[in-house]
Amino acid sequence: MDSEQLREYGHRMVDFIADYYKTIETFPVLSQVQPGYLHNLLPDSAPDQPETLEQVLDDVKEKILPGVTHWQSPSFFAYYPANSSVAGFLGEMLSAALNIVGFSWVSSPAATELEMIVLDWFAKLLNLPEQFLSRGNGGGVIQGTASEAILVVMIAARDKVLRSLGKKALEKLVVYSSDQTHSSLLKACQIAGIHLENCRMLKTDSSTNYALRPESLQEAVSGDLEAGLIPFFLCGTVGTTSSTAVDPLAELGKIAKSNEMWFHVDAAYAGSACICPEYRQYIDGVETADSFNMNAHKWFLTNFDCSLLWVKDRYALTEALSTNPEFLKNKASQANLVVDYKDWQIPLGRRFRSLKLWMVLRLYGAETLKSYIRNHIKLAKDLEQLVSQDPNFEVVTPRIFSLVCFRIAAVDNDEKTCNNLNRSLLDAVNSSGKLFISHTTLSGKFVLRLAIGAPLTEEKHVMDAWKVIQEEASFLLASQVK
């Protein structure tokens, strides 16, 4: 490492990146390239001799950027957001600079200790129950993604049951969630060896705005108990991926508790909003949960990846995931004086991810972060109103946070024609390059999703997006009449 070269190249790279952000609105939001485009543009093998930074950056401009979908564009409204910010960025830089591999406390004490402190800070911002803080048996940990978070808690819950009932019980273990739960739950079941026929994705509908009904859960649990099966894991969601449905945590938690099930709460997207007192109600009942997860990398100005997981019983995790090879033994770990995060996750190695979250919290402060969230929610509320005032459109589920679910209304059309119209609208809007939205289906309806949450998004971007959607819809509806 030549620090003077780093200084020179680093400055040039920062200039390149700052220029990218400055001109981000000039790119099509959704990349318009065809599959395999890059094969034709890059050589078949790596260079034998060094090339210059200029050459590489020229290729980034000409060959890589056309194949990038610009998640940081202010007109990116697809999926859920993936925030970047100056503070998040600087934290990433510092983490890359130190480049530690913090598997156990001794491998870099500050990495473990800062992570514990920052997750305690965050738990307090969310007003999580005391048991999730690190001073007792609980604590927080940064995972790469919500999918990893759900997997590790499922493994912890599974092993807890199998330790008392024996390994043969595995085939009887049953998992519960709503049919709106993110697909990461099923993936976790696959990896954890849960029989897929024992995964109950309980049906929801518009009568509860796609939230899980406690009666459905109770009924399923009772049926499984009668059949000699073992209910062991419940996943509730606050802010489902399709439509931000909020499961009733307190009532679900009661059922989980009386059946000795592990209760996990997935608030991957909506958790960020719950630092605002007026949105905290959506995680009421979290005190009944065993674990709680939210992605700071979605809507909390923290660059990907940074998924926050809290557990009440950290020993459930470490009993399932600990290893203690000779080459990692050290006095602090042997004396049980420290947390070794390698035992709370799947991989051994881990990055110094708490730095970026710490920088976000310090450089912006909680009040600015709350205003940031509130602004996106206000923009979404305004958009929801505009959609509901346009006779060509309908809002499909009431908006709660910053996602608006809508579609061209089915007036004289049958459902199939209406779905096709909306599919065409999605294609037309996204291929314009002016904005990027995504879709889902709810009760057989093809639904458009517009999620506001990119840091650069302002009112004018939302209004421009709505104008494009209206224009494309009018065009489609007019051509349908002909």
Strand pairing of 291-295 and 403-408?
unpaired
Do 309 and 140 contact (CB within 8 A), yes or no? yes
CB closer to ligand PLP out of 237 and 457: 237
Q: Which of these segments, 5-13, 161-169, 218-226, 238-246, binds ligand PLP (CB under 6 A)?
A: 238-246
Decide if residue 189 touches ligand PLP (CB under 6 A).
no
User: By rule CB under 6 A, what string of x and - marks binding of each residue 66-95 to ligand PLP?
Assistant: --------------x---------------
CA distance 218 to 206: 20
Tell me which of 182, 213, 314, 449 binds ligand PLP, using CB under 6 A: 182
Tell me which of 87, 170, 245, 268 binds ligand PLP, using CB under 6 A: 268
Q: Convert 28-45 to b/e letters by CB count within 10 Å (16 or more is b).
A: bbbbeeeeeeeeeeeeee
Residues 113 to 142 in contact with ligand PLP, rule: CB under 6 A: none
Among 192, 212, 190, which residue's Cα sits nearest to residue 201? 212
Tell me which of 108, 145, 216, 392 binds ligand PLP, using CB under 6 A: 145
CB closer to ligand PLP out of 224 and 266: 266
Do 77 and 468 contact (CB within 8 A), yes or no? no
In whole angstroms, how far apart are CA 337 and each of 104, 109, 210? 12, 12, 46
**Minimum gap (Å) between residue 68 Cβ and ligand PLP:** 19
Both tokens of 300, joined, read: 């909390």
CA distance 208 to 36: 44
Q: Which of these segments, 252-260, 265-273, 346-354, 474-482, binds ligand PLP (CB under 6 A)?
A: 265-273
Residues 6+ positions from 148 with CB-CB distance below 8 Å:
307, 345, 346
**Minimum gap (Å) between residue 11 Cβ and ligand PLP:** 33
Residue 233's DSSP bridge partners are 175, 262
Both tokens of 410, joined, read: 């089915």
Q: Give phi and psi for 174, each to the nearest 5.
A: -120, 140
CB closer to ligand PLP out of 69 and 218: 69
**Minimum gap (Å) between residue 148 Cβ and ligand PLP:** 7
Instruction: Name the residue with tokens 């099923």.
Output: 186
User: By rule CB under 6 A, what string of x and - marks binding of each residue 292-331 to ligand PLP?
Assistant: ---x-----------x------------------------
Q: Which of these segments, 264-272, 333-341, 360-368, 379-387, binds ligand PLP (CB under 6 A)?
A: 264-272
List the alpha helices (DSSP H) in 69-169: 86-98, 109-125, 146-165
Residue 139 φ/ψ region, left for φ over 0, alpha for ψ in the -120 to 50 degree band, beta for the rest: left
Tell me which of 83, 178, 241, 457 binds ligand PLP, using CB under 6 A: 241
Do 348 and 103 contact (CB within 8 A), yes or no? yes
Tell me which of 85, 184, 345, 457 binds ligand PLP, using CB under 6 A: 184
CB closer to ligand PLP out of 266 and 290: 266
Decide if residue 269 touches ligand PLP (CB under 6 A).
yes
Q: In one letter, which amino acid is 477? A: L
CB closer to ligand PLP out of 268 and 369: 268
CB closer to ligand PLP out of 105 and 304: 304
Strand pairing of 438-442 and 445-451?
antiparallel
Decide if residue 235 touches ligand PLP (CB under 6 A).
no
Both tokens of 296, joined, read: 């700071």
**Minimum gap (Å) between residue 301 Cβ and ligand PLP:** 16
Strands (E) in 238-320, as ranges, are 262-266, 291-295, 307-311
Decide if residue 147 touches ligand PLP (CB under 6 A).
yes
Decide if residue 146 touches ligand PLP (CB under 6 A).
yes
CB closer to ligand PLP out of 79 and 121: 79
**Minimum gap (Å) between residue 69 Cβ and ligand PLP:** 15
The residue ranges that bind ligand PLP (CB under 6 A) are 80, 145-147, 182, 184, 237, 239-241, 266, 268-269, 295, 307
